[in-house]
A and B are shown apart, each in its own frame.
Chain A
Amino acid sequence: MRAEMNETSATSSVSKGCFVFKSSKKRKRHEGAGGYFGESGSESFRICQELWETVQKNTEVIQDELNKKVLDSLVEFIRKHSFGSSSAEWRLRSSEIPTAALMLGVNVTDHGMTFRSLCNLLQDSLTPFVVSVHAKECSAHDSFKKSSSQIVQNNGSAQSLPVVVIFRDFEAFNPQVLQDFILICSRYIQELPFVLIFGIATSPSAVQQRLPHSVSSLLCIKVFQSLSCTQHLASVFEKLILDPQFPFKLSSRVLQVLVGIFLYHDFSVQNFVKGLQLSMLEHFSSQPLSVLCCQKHQAMLHVKTLSQQNVERVRHLPSFMRYVESSEETCQNLLKNLHKYHKNYYPALKCLHSLTSSLPKFPLGKQIRELHVSCNEKNIWEMKEYESAMQLLRILAKDELIGALERCAEILQSPCTKKMQKVMQQVQDFITRLQNLENVSSEDPSGDGVNTSKMELQRKTDLFQLQKANGVAETLLEKETRRTKKLSQFELLRSQVMDFIDGFVREYLTPAHLQPLSEVCYYSSSGTLRQRLNVTPRTSIQTALTHPFYYLQNEVLKTDSGTISSVAPDICIAYKLHLECGRLINLYDWLEAFATVLSATEDKGGNSEEPGQVDSMTHARFIQAVSELEFLGFIKSTKQKTDHVSRLTWGGC
Chain B
Amino acid sequence: PSKKSKKAQESDLVQQYFEAHSSSRVLTSDRTLQRLQTPKLQRDTLLGLLGKAPPLFAEEIEQLNQKHQKNFRQWMLQLHMGFNILLYGLGSKKPLLEKFRSSMLSEFDHVVINGFFPSITLKAILNSITLELLDHEGSFRNPGEQIDFIVRTLSADPSKHVFLIIHNIDGSMLRGDKTQNTLGQLATLQNMHLLASIDHINAPLIWDHSKMSLFNWLWFESTTFLPYAEETSYENTLLLQQSGALALSSLTHVLRSLTPNARCLSFQDFYQRCRESFLVNSDITLRSQLTEFKDHKLIRAKKGADGVEYLLIPVDNTTLSDFLEKNEQD
In the complex, whether A338 has a CB less than 8 A from a CB of chain B is no
A554-B38 contact, Cβ under 8 Å, with A11-B112, A12-B230, A643-B240: no
B residues less than 8 Å from A29 (CB atoms): 159
Report if A544-B89 is in contact (Cβ < 8 Å); known contacts: A36-B73, A630-B237.
yes
The interface residues of chain A lying within 8 Å CB-to-CB of B220 are 531-532
Q: Which of B113-121, B252-260, B278-286, B302-310 makes up part of the contact surface?
A: B113-121
Q: Does B29 contact A586, Cβ atoms closer than 8 Å?
A: yes
Flag the segment in A267-275, A322-330, A451-459 that touches B: A267-275
Q: Give the interface segment out of B50-58, B268-276, B288-296, B319-327.
A: B50-58
Does B56 lie within 8 Å of A23, measured CB to CB? no
Instruction: State whether A616 touches B108 (Cβ < 8 A).
Output: no
Does the CB pair B28–A8 fall under 8 Å?
A: no
Chain B residues with CB under 8 A of A22: 109, 132-133
Q: Give CA–CA (A570, B41) in the complex, Å.
A: 18
Given A532-B219, A640-B26, are A281 and B78 also a contact pair (CB < 8 Å)? yes
Nearest opposing residue in chain A for B212, CB measure: A109
Q: 6 closest Cβ contacts across the A-B interface?
A: A17-B117, A33-B80, A17-B120, A620-B49, A544-B90, A537-B88
Which residues of chain A are near B38, meaning CB under 8 Å? 616, 619
A21 to B161: give the CA distance in the assembly, Å.
13
Report A-chain residues with C-beta under 8 Å of the C-beta of B102. 7
Is A644 touching B132 in the complex (CB atoms < 8 A)?
no
- The answer to whether B201 and A537 touch across the interface, beta carbons within 8 angstroms, is yes
A25 within 8 A of B: yes
Contact with A along B192-227 (1 / 0, CB 8 A): 000000111111100001101100101111010101
In this complex, what residue of A is CB-closest to B78? A281
Determine whether the beta carbon of B80 is less than 8 Å from that of A8.
Answer: no
Contact B29 A23 (CB under 8 A): no
Q: Say whether A535 faces chain B, with CB atoms less than 8 Å apart.
A: yes
> Which residues of B from 56 to 80 have beta carbons under 8 Å from A?
56-57, 60-61, 63-64, 73-74, 76-78, 80
| Complex interface residues of chain A between 544 and 573 (CB less than 8 A to chain B) | 544-545, 548, 551-554, 557, 567, 569-571
Give every chain A residue within 8 A of B21 (Cβ-Cβ): 583, 650
CB closest residue in chain A, given B234: A14
Encoded as 1 (CB less than 8 Å from any B CB) or 0, chain A from 11 to 28 comes to: 110001111111101011
Nearest Cβ on chain B to A483's Cβ, whole angstroms: 39
Q: Can you report 5 residue pairs joining A to B where beta carbons are below 8 Å apart?
A: A17-B124, A18-B113, A18-B114, A30-B107, A633-B200
Asked whether any CB of chain A lies closer than 8 Å to the CB of B16, the reply is: yes
A window 26-67: CB within 8 A of B: 27-30, 32-33, 36-38
Residue B139 is within 8 A (CB to CB) of chain A in the complex:
no
Determine whether B277 belongs to the interface, using a CB cutoff of 8 Å to chain A. no
Stretch at the interface among A226-234, A348-356, A373-381, A621-629: A621-629
Is B112's CB under 8 angstroms from A268's CB? no
Given the complex, which residues of A lie within 8 Å of B41, measured CB to CB?
616, 619-620, 623
Given contacts A281-B77, A617-B53, A627-B232, contact A17 B119 (CB under 8 A): yes
Residue of B nearest to A570 (CB): B56
8 Å CB contact of B209 from A109, A278, A537, A641 = A109
What is the interface residue range for chain B against chain A? 35 or more
Residue from B57, B83, B98, B110 having most chain A Cβ neighbours under 10 A: B57
Do A637 and B133 have beta carbons less than 8 Å apart?
no
Interfacial chain A residues near B213, Cβ < 8 Å = 108-109, 268, 270-271
Instruction: Say if the beta carbon of B146 comes within 8 Å of chain A.
Output: no
B13 at the interface (CB under 8 A from A): yes
A588 and B128 contacting across the interface, CB-CB below 8 Å? no
A258 and B114 alpha carbons, distance in the complex (Å): 34
Q: Which of B35, B119, B124, B127 contacts A612 (CB 8 A)?
A: B35
Determine if A584 is an interface residue (Cβ-Cβ < 8 Å).
yes
A593 to chain B, nearest CB (A): 12
Q: Mark A597-631, 1 if CB is under 8 A from B, else 0.
A: 00000000000000011101101110110111011
What residue in chain A is nearest B18 (Cβ atoms)? A650
Give CA–CA (A109, B211) in the complex, Å. Answer: 9
Would A27 and B32 be within 8 Å (CB), given that A285-B74, A553-B63, A620-B50 are in contact? Answer: no
Closest to A628 in B: B228
Contact in complex: B57, A554 (CB < 8 Å):
yes
State whether the Cβ of B179 lies closer than 8 Å to any Cβ in chain A. no
- Do B35 and A628 touch across chains, with their CB atoms under 8 A apart? no
With a CB–CB cut-off of 8 A, which chain A residues contact B178?
136
Cross-chain contact of A651 among B17, B36, B83 (Cβ < 8 A): B17
Contacts of A101 in B (CB 8 A): none
> Please, which residue of chain A has its CB at the minimum distance from the CB of B92?
A628
Q: Would A634 and B201 be within 8 Å (CB), given that A17-B114, A551-B225, A552-B60 are in contact?
A: yes
B225 A548 Cβ-Cβ under 8 A: yes
Residues of the A chain whose Cβ atoms lie less than 8 Å from the Cβ of B199: 631-632
A540 at the interface (CB under 8 A from B): yes
User: Is A478 located at the chain interface by the 8 A CB criterion?
Assistant: no
Residues from chain B with Cβ under 8 Å of A278 in the complex: 78, 83, 218
* Contact A281:B81 (CB < 8 A) given known A19-B111, A586-B28: yes
Q: Which residues of B contact A620 (CB under 8 A)?
A: 41, 45-46, 49-50, 53
Chain A residues, Cβ within 8 Å of B218: 278, 532-533
Within the complex, the shortest CB–CB distance from B168 to chain A, in Å, comes to 9
A582 within 8 A of B: yes
What's the nearest-Cβ distance from chain A to residue B136, in Å? 13
A153 contacts chain B at the CB level, 8 A cutoff? no
| Cα–Cα, bound, A542→B199 (Å) | 12
Pairwise interchain contact A28-B107, C-beta atoms closer than 8 A: yes
Say yes or no: is A485 at the interface (Cβ < 8 Å to chain B): no
Q: Is A585 an interface residue (CB 8 A)?
A: yes
A406 interfacial by beta-carbon distance below 8 Å = no
In the bound assembly, the distance between CA atoms of A225 and B281 in angstroms comes to 83
Chain B residues whose CB sits within 8 angstroms of the CB of A641 once the complex forms: 26, 28
Residues of A within 8 A of B31 (CB): 586, 588-589
Which residues of the other chain, B, contact A108 by a CB distance below 8 angstroms? 209-210, 213
